[in-house]
Structure 1
Amino acid sequence: MSPRRRAVQLVPFVLVALQLQIPTIALGPVIAVVSRDAGLTLGQAGALTSIPVLCFAVLTPVAARAVGTIGINRALVLASVTIGAGVVVRSLGTLPALFGGSILLGSAVALVNIALPTLITRRYRHRSLLMNAIQTSSINVGSATAALVSAPLVASLGWQLGLGVWSVVSLVAAAVWWWRNGIARPERLPASSVVTTMAEAIAEDDDVDPAARAASSGRSVPGWRVPMAWVLGVAFVMHGGCYFAMSSWLPLLLQERSGLSATTAGACVAAFLVIGVIGPVLLPAVLKLPGMALWKLMTLTSIGWLVCLVLLATAPALWPLAVLVGGLVQGASYTVIATFAVHVAADEDQSRGIQATFQTIGFAGAAVMPVLIGAVRDSTGGWDAPLWVLVGVAVALVVVGGVASRLLVRHDAAVPAAA
C-alpha cells in the first residue's frame, strides 16, 4: 500500500478522534459568558464541563457492550452524530438543554472511547503505539484549536451559535467515516479471520459479526479479570487527575503564583494543549532507541509528570519549563497507558473489557481531582498545598506505573513477542 493511500485511510480515524474534546474545551474560555446569560452560578456552569467526564465513567461498561453488539463502524458513526446533536442541544440555551446536551455528548464520547481502542486491537495491534499516538495527537489538535478559537467565535457570533458551530466537526467526521467504512450489516466471517495477534494482517474494513467475535473469544478471560486492567485504571486516575487539574487550574495558578496576566495565562493553557500534540508523536521514535522498551516509556512519562509538578511547586519562575514538560507528557502518558491495554489483550472482546475497566476507574477518579484541588485552594488561600497534593499524585503514578511495567514484562515473557 502506498504512503498516500495509507494516509488517506487515516483521515476518518483522525477526524473521529479530533472531535472528542472539542465540546468540553470550547466551553472553558467562555464559561463565564454562558453562566451569566443562562443565569447559572459558576458552580453550576462548572458542572457542564464535569458532566461529560462523569458520563465516561458511568457509561463506559454500557458503551463496551454496545460496541460489541452493533459493531465498530456503526458505533463510531452513531457516536459522532450524537456528539454533534449534543452540541446543538446544549447551544439552545435553556437550562434543561445545557445539561441534557452535555449528557448526550458525554455519552457519545464514551462510546468512541471504547470503539477506537477496539479498532486498534483488531486492525493495528502491530502498530498500536503509533495508532494510539495518532489518536491522542488528534484529540490535542482539536482541543488546542477549540481553546484558541472559541472565545473569538463567541465574541463574534454569541455563545449559542459560537459553541453550536462545533457540531459541524462531528457531523463531518460521521459522514467521512460512513463514506469510507460504511455501516452495513456486519459480514459473517469465520473466527479464524478475526485479528487476535499483532502478527496477523490488517483485518477487513467491514465489522466482524458478533457471533464470530464470540467464537474467537472463548480462549480469553473477561477483560475485568485481567490484573493489568485494574492497575491501568489506578494509573489513569493519577494521570487523568494531573491532566484535568492542570487544564482547569493552570490559568489561575499562573496568574496568582507567577504574576501572569489573564491573557498570557490563557495562552499558556493553549500552549500546554498544543505541545501535547508533540509528545505522542515522538513515542514511536523513542521506542526505537537502543535499549528502549514499552515499559520504560511508562517510567519516562510518569517521571515527566512528577518533574512538571515539582517545578510548579518549588520554582514558580520556571513555569515555562513546567508547561513544556507537562505538555509533552500529558498526551504521551495517556498514549502509553492505552497501548499497555491493547498490548496485553488476547482479542478484541477482552480488549473492550480491559478498556471498560480501566476507563471506568480512571475517569471516575480523575473527575474528582479538579474539585479537590479547588477545595484545597479555597481552604488554604494559596497554591502550595494544592501543588503538593498533585506532587503526591504524580509520585503515586510513578509507583503504579512501575507495577504496570512489571506486569507487562511478565506478560511478554509468557507470550511470544511475535505478537
Structure 2
Amino acid sequence: MTRTRAQAATSLIPFVLVCLQLQIPTVALGPVLLTVQQETGLDGVAAGALTSIPVLCFAILTPVASRIVGAIGVTRALTAASLAVGLGVVLRSLGPVPTLFAGSVLLGSAVAVVNIAIPTLVTRRYRHRALLMNGIQTASTNIGSALSAAVSAPLVALLGWQLGLAIWSATSFLAAVVWWVSTRGERVAAAAAVVVTAAEEVAGDVVHDGVDGVVRDGVGRGGRTTASGPSALRLPIAWVLGLTFAMHGMCYFAMSSWLPTLLQERSGLTADAAGVCVSVFMALGIAGPLLLPVAMRVRGVSLALLMTVLTAGWLVCMVLLLTAPDLWLAALLVGGLAQGATFTMIVTFGVHVARDEHHSRGIQTVLQTVGFAGAALGPVLIGGVRDTTGSWTTALAVLVGVATALVALGLTASALLRAHDRALPVAEHA
C-alpha cells in the first residue's frame, strides 16, 4: 500500500467508527432480551415495544433530526449524536424499567440524527464517490450488528445484563472522540469563516446555507453553486425512494426477526443451524455494498441497472422461500447480497439527485421518514399473519407481494433517475 493510500485509509477511520455504532445498541439487546425480561419483570408486549422503540424513533423523529443537523452542522451533529447514543446505552442499562425505555428513546433519537447527517456529509465531501462511501457506511453498520449479535450473550453471561449491555456505550464514546479530534481543522476553518462573514454581512452579499457554515456569493464550501429548484417535499423521486425504502425495510426487518423460526419450522433446520444461516445472511450484507463500486466499473452497468437487479434479488429470495423450501440456501445467498446493497443504492440515489447538501438533507428526511415508518411494520405484519394462519405460506406470500412492490418502485426510481440525468446540463455530467 502506498503512503497516499495508507493516509486515505486512515482518514476513513472516524467515518467507519461513526457508522459502526449505528445498529450495535439495538442488535445487542435481541440475544439477551429474555434475560432482561426475567430480571426486570417485563411482559412480552413491553419487551417487544422496547425493541421497536429505536425504529419508531427513526420514523417519527427524522424531521426533528434533520432540523438539528441543519442548525448545528454535520460535524457537531455527528459528535453530539454519538455521545447521546452512548449515554442512551448507559441509561438503558441502569436497571429500572423507566430508564430502560428512556434510554431506548434517547439512543433511537440520536441514531436518527446520525442517519441524516451521514448522507449529508457524503453529499458535501464525497459526492463523486457516493456509492463507495455509502457502501462503506452499510458494511460498517452490518459489521457492528454482527459483532454485537455474536458477543452480546457471552458478555451478559459473564458480566450480568446491565454491565454487559452498558459496555457497548464505549463504541459510541470512542466514535465521538475520534470524530471530534479528526475534524478539528474543519472547525477552525469554520470559526475563521465566521469572522470573514461578519464583514461580508455588512455589505449584504452573503447568505447562510443552514447546514454547516455560509455560502459566499452563491457558492458553497465545496465550490458548488447553490442551484434553485423544487424542495425535497415536491420531488417525486424522494417519495418514490421513501416507498422503496419502506418495502425494502419490511423485507429486511421481517427476515431479521423471523428467519431463524422460519428455517426451523419450514425447512427443518436445527436451532444451531438456523443461527449459523442467519449469521451468513447478515455477513452477506457486509459484502454486498462493497461489491457495488466494483460492479459499476463494468461497461454498461449503471445505478439504475443495479437498483433493478438488487430489488429483483429480494423478489427471488422470497419466491424461493415460498415455493422451494429446500432451496433455502440459494434464497439466503441472493437475499443476503441484496439486503445491504439495496439500502446503499437507495441512499446513493438520494445523494445523486441532490443539488447540494441542504437539498440532500431534505431528500433524506423524506426518504427515511417514509421508509422507517413502513419498515417498522414488517416484523409485526409477518408475525401477525403467521399467528393468524398457523403457517408460513400466507406470511411468505405477503412478503412476495411486498418484494413485487419493491421491484416496481425500484424500476420507477430508476426511470426518474435517468430522467433527472437527462435534464442536467452537460457540465453537470462531467
TM range (shorter): over 0.9
Pairwise mapping of residues 304-383 of structure 1 onto structure 2 (< 5 A)?
Answer: 304-383=313-392
- Map Cα deviations across residues 120-171 of structure 1 (whole Å, 9 max, x no partner): 0001110000000000000000001111111111111111111111000001
Which 5+ residue runs of structure 1 have no aligned equivalent?
192-206
Amino acid at match of 1:418: H
Q: Say whether the 8 Å CA contact 1:144–1:273 is kept in structure 2.
A: yes
1:150 matched to which residue of 2? 152
Structure showing greater radius of gyration is 2
> Taking structure 1 as the reference length, what is the TM-score of the superposition?
0.93
Deviations 1:237-268 (A, max 9, x none): 10000000000111111111112222222222
Structure 1 letter corresponding to 2:384? A
In 1: Cα distance, 2:146 partner to 2:381 partner: 25
Tell me the equivalent position of 1:171. 173
Q: Do residues 293 (structure 1) and 302 (structure 2) align?
A: yes
Specify which of 6, 9, 32 is matched with residue 7 of structure 1.
9
Identity value in percent: 59
Structure 2: segments with no counterpart, 5+ residues: 198-210, 221-225
1:214 CA displacement:
8.7
Q: Would you say the 8 A contact 1:92–1:160 is kept in 2?
A: yes
**Which residue in 2 is equivalent to 1:137?**
139
Q: Is 1:278 aligned with 2:287?
A: yes
Deviation at 1:317, TM superposition (A): 1.4
Aligned residues of 1:213 and 1:349 also touching (Cα < 8 A): no
Query: Is 2:247 the partner of 1:238?
Result: yes
* Deviation of the 1:43 alpha carbon: 2.0
CA contact (8 A) 2:72 2:212 kept: no
2:429 equivalent in structure 1: 418
Distance 1:136 1:319 in 2: 24
Offset of residue 208 of structure 1: 3.7
**Which residue identity does 1:248 align to in structure 2?**
S
Q: TM-score, normalized by length of structure 2? A: 0.91
Match of 1:55 in 2: 57
Instruction: Work out whether residues 232 and 337 of structure 1, in 8 Å CA contact, stay in contact via their aligned partners in 2.
Output: yes
Among 374, 379, 402, the alignment partner of 2:411 is 402
Give 1:213 shift.
11
Alpha-carbon displacement from aligned partner over 1:269-313 (angstroms, at most 9, x marks no partner): 222111110000000111111111110011011000001111111
Offset at residue 210 of structure 1 (A)? 4.8
Q: Give the equivalent residue in structure 2 for 1:202.
A: none
Do the aligned partners of residues 160 and 306 (structure 1) sit closer, same or farther apart at CA in structure 2, a change above 3 Å counting? same
Which residue does 2:202 correspond to in 1?
Answer: none
Q: Which moved more, 1:44-53 or 1:104-113?
A: 44-53
Q: Aligned equivalents of 1:184 and 1:53: distance in 2?
A: 32
Residue 229 of structure 1 contacts residue 358 of structure 1 at CA under 8 Å; is this kept in 2?
yes
Give the alignment's Cα RMSD to 1 decimal: 1.8
Partner Cα distance (1:213, 1:230) in 2: 32
Determine the C-alpha separation between the residues in 1 that align with 2:134 and 2:97. Answer: 37
1:16 aligns with 2:18: yes
8 Å CA contact 1:344, 1:408 repeated in 2: yes
**How far, CA to CA, are the matches of 1:119 and 1:267 in structure 2?**
36
User: Tell me, what secondary structure is at the counterpart of 2:12?
Assistant: helix
Whole-angstrom CA distance in 1 between matches of 2:418 and 2:291: 22
Alignment of 1:81-120 (within 5 A): 81-120=83-122
Does the CA contact (< 8 Å) of 1:312 and 1:319 recur in 2?
A: yes
Partner of 1:196: none
Taking a change above 3 Å as real, the CA distance of residues 310 and 179 of structure 1, as seen in their structure-2 partners, is same
2:275 paired with 1:266: yes
- 1:411 positional shift: 0.6
Runs of 4+ in structure 1 off by over 4 angstroms are: 210-218
